[in-house]
Amino acid sequence: MSINNTEKSYNFGMIGLGTMGRNLLLNMADHGFSVTGHDKSDKMLALLEEEGKAHQLKGFAKVEDFVGSLTSPKTIILLVPAGKIVDEVIAEITPLLSKGDIIIDSGNSYYADTTRRSVALKEQGFHFFGMGISGGEEGARFGPSLMPGGDKDAYSVVKDLLEAVSAKVNGEPCVTYIGPGASGHFVKMTHNGIEYAIMQLLAETYDILKNGLGYNNQQIQQVFEKWNNGRLKSFLMEITKDVFLFKDEKTGNLLVDEIKDQAKSKGTGKWTSQIAMDVEIPLNTIDASVAARNLSKLKDLRVELEGAFGKAANITQNEDFEAQLEEAFYFAMVSAYAQGMHLLWKASEEYGYELNMAEIAKIWRGGCIIRAEFLQDIYEAYQKQPSLQHLYQDASIQQKLQKGLKDTRNVIASAISAGIAVPCYAAAITYFDTLKTGRMPSNLIQAQRDYFGAHTFERIDSEGVFHAEWSK
Ligand SMILES: NC(=O)C1=CN([C@@H]2O[C@H](COP(=O)(O)OP(=O)(O)OC[C@H]3O[C@@H](n4cnc5c(N)ncnc54)[C@H](OP(=O)(O)O)[C@@H]3O)[C@@H](O)[C@H]2O)C=CC1
Ligand SMILES: O=C(CO)[C@H](O)[C@H](O)COP(=O)(O)O
C-alpha cells in the first residue's frame, strides 16, 4: 500500500520515523527537498495526517514501494535504533538497491559496527556512511549538528541537503565531512561522552546549591539563568534552568522533585570511556559521569549506607561562594571538552581519521546538545594550532584556568568536606593536577610491578630495561 502515492519520484528517503527521523524528514521537506519516508509501524500515516497538508510529504508502508519511489542514486537515511535493527534494515533494503546507491546510518551506532558495515557494503558496491546527528527532537526539526564520515563520493551527493537542513552559526552550516571510515560515529560518540560529563556537572552543581547551600528550586533556577547570560551560556544550561520551574500536572509540585534519582543511558557515554581506555587517553571527568549514572542505579544500597553513615552536611558559605562555584563549573566544564578533544586527537592518529579539530569544534557551536559559548574558544584554539594535542596547552585557556583555580579548589574542597558527592568536579581537579605534575609517583608503580612480577623498569640515568631482586 502506498500513502499519498503519486507517479512522482523522490530524491531522498528516510527509514525510521520516530523522534529523530520524523523531524529530520520534515526539516528536509521544509527546505524544498523531495523526500519520502518509511517506518515499520504506521507512523507515516500519523505524520501525513498531522503534517501532510503543510508539507510535501510522501510515505510508503511497504519497503519495496518506498525504495522503488527513489531516483538514482537512491539515497536512504536510517534513523532507527542502533544495534541489530540497523543490520536488519540494511539486509532488507540492499536486495532492492543497485550498485552506487547510498545508505546513510544517522543513528547512534557503535563505531566498530559502522566500520564493519562500511567494508561489507563497499564490497557489495554500495556507498555507505555513518552520520552522527545531535540536537534531539528540536534540532532534527529545525537544524541539527551533523557529523558525516565515510565514503566521500557519497558525501558530495548529499552535501547540499545536509548543509541546508543543519543548524547555522554566523551563516555557516553545522556540518562538515568528518573523515574516512567510522569517524562520523566516533565523533558523535565522543560528543555524547562530553554531554554526559556536562550533564553530571550540572547535576552536582544542583546538589551543592540544594543540599550544600539550602537553595530552593527557584533560587537554583536564578543561578543557572545568571550563568547562562555569561561565559557558561550553553544549551544544557539553558534547558536545565527551565527544568527547575516546570510544574507537574499530576501533583502541582515542581516536576523535578517528583522524578526518581536513577539515571538511564543508551551506551554512548560508556563506549567513550571504554574506547578511551583502549587507546590510553585518560577521560577522568567523562568516566566519572558514566560511573555516576551507574551509582544512581544503586538506590537501595545508597539508602542503606546513608542510614549507616549519615547524610551530607551543609556547606559553610561565604558571600563569594556562588561566584566561586561559577569558576569551578567553568574549570570542570573545560576539562570535559578538553578530554573529549584529546580522545579525538588520538583517534585521528590511531584510526587514520584525519580529523580537523577546528572544524569539529565549529560544527558543535550550533544545533547539538553540547553547543556552548565555550566552543568558540575551542574553535579558535585549534584554528591557531591545528595539531594541538591538548586544550590546556592553549595560552588563552591556560589564563582562564589559572584565574579560577583557587576558587575551584575551594568549592570542591568545601563540597568534599561537607560529604556532598561531586565525582565530576573532583575528577576534573585531579585530572588537571595530574596532568600538570612533571614527576608523578609512577616510579613506585614500576618498582612494585618489578618486585612482584619481574616486569622490569626503566632508569632515569641509563637506557634499557632493568630488574632488581627486591626481596633480597
Ligand atoms: N532521540 C534523540 O534525541 C537522539 C537519538 N539519536 C539516535 O537516532 C536513532 C533514532 O532515535 P529516535 O528517533 O530517538 O528513536 P525512536 O525509537 O523514536 O524512532 C525509531 C523509529 O524506527 C522505527 N523502526 C524500528 N525498526 C524498524 C525497521 N526494521 N524498519 C523501519 N522502521 C523501524 C521505530 O518503530 P517502532 O517505534 O514501531 O519500533 C521508530 O519509529 C537512534 O540510534 C538514537 O540513538 C541520535 C541523536 C539524538
Ligand atoms: O545522542 C543523543 C543526544 O546527543 C541521544 O539523546 C542519546 O540517547 C543520549 O544518550 P543517553 O540516552 O545515553 O543519555
Enter the C-alpha cell of residue 269.
557515554
pLDDT greater than 80 at residue 142: yes
Does 13 contact ligand 1 (Cβ within 6 A)? no
Q: Which residues line ligand 2 at a C-beta cut-off of 6 Å?
A: 108, 134, 136, 192, 195, 265-266, 268-269, 369
pLDDT greater than 60 at residue 6: no
Does 369 contact ligand 1 (Cβ within 6 A)? no
Residue 155 CA, chain-centre distance (Å), reads: 22
| Active-site residue flag, 250 | no
Position 56 scores a pLDDT of: 74
Position 163 scores a pLDDT of: 98
Does 443-472 match 188-435 at the fold level? Answer: no
User: Does this model's pTM top 0.95?
Assistant: yes
Domain ranges within the chain, ordered by starting residue = 2-181, 188-435, 443-472
Phi/psi for 465 (5° steps) reads -115, 150
If one looks up domain 443-472 in CATH, what number appears?
1.20.5.320
| Active-site residue flag, 49 | no
How far is the C-alpha of 120 from the C-alpha of 105, rounded, in Å?
A: 14
What band does 4 get if pLDDT is binned at 50, 70 and 90?
A: very low
Ligand that comes closest to the CA of residue 110: 1
For every residue of 402-454, DSSP letters joined together read HHHHHHHHHHHHHHHHHT---HHHHHHHHHHHHHT-SS-THHHHHHHHHHHH-
Asked which of 52-66, 155-169, 365-379 is least confident by mean pLDDT, the reply is: 52-66
Q: Which atom of ligand 2 is nearest to the CA of 265?
A: 13
What band does 1 get if pLDDT is binned at 50, 70 and 90?
A: very low
Reported CATH class of domain 188-435: mainly alpha
Q: What is the average pLDDT score of the chain?
A: 95
* pLDDT digit string, tens, across residues 37-77: 999 988 877 887 777 777 777 888 999 999 999 999 999 99
Ligand that comes closest to the CA of residue 59: 1
Kindly provide the ipTM of the predicted complex, given to two decimals.
Answer: 0.98
CATH 3.40.50.720 holds for 2-181? yes
Whole-number percent of the chain with pLDDT over 70: 98
Whole-number percent of the chain with pLDDT over 90: 91
Please indicate whether residue 418 or residue 54 has the higher confidence score (pLDDT): 418
